[in-house]
Amino acid sequence: MKTTSYELLVNAAGQLMQQHAFDHFTDEKLSRMYSCFRCIGESVNNAEIAGVESELLSLCSEANLYVETATPQSIHQWHTAMSYFGLTVAPAVVSEEAE
């Protein structure tokens, strides 16, 4: 039985994929991410799902939330999903360091 937190994470990551937040990923990383999605979607027990959790969270933490196509709703959904796992998403850095 899947939990709401996994469903939120998969939905939020899927939304951000459509909005190009993972375009910087290599084909290998995208393939691993899709494999995690598939495992979560097809698994019937939480023990199996927990096995891919850390890999999926690690991949998801590399999302580029500051692409022009990311909507405020998707970013809010992303923050909500990550908070279920006790993670926070760092705000954008708006200043440059002096050289």
pLDDT at 3: 61
Q: Helix 46-60 vs helix 4-18: angle between axes, to the nearest 10 degrees? A: 40
Q: Any residues with CB less than 8 A from the CB of 82 and at least 6 apart, and which? A: 9, 12, 60, 88, 89
How large is the average pLDDT for residues 77-88?
Answer: 83
How large is the average pLDDT for residues 61-88?
Answer: 85
Q: Check if the beta carbon of residue 69 is closer than 8 Å to that of residue 19.
A: yes
pLDDT tens for each residue of 12-38: 888 888 889 899 999 999 999 999 888
pLDDT at 90: 58
Q: pLDDT-based confidence at 11, cuts 50/70/90?
A: confident
Sign, Cα dihedral of 6, 7, 11, 12: negative
Q: Check if the beta carbon of residue 80 is closer than 8 Å to that of residue 12.
A: yes
* 3-state percent helix, strand, coil for the chain, nearest multiple of 5: 60, 0, 40
Helix (H, G, I), strand (E, B) or coil at 58: helix
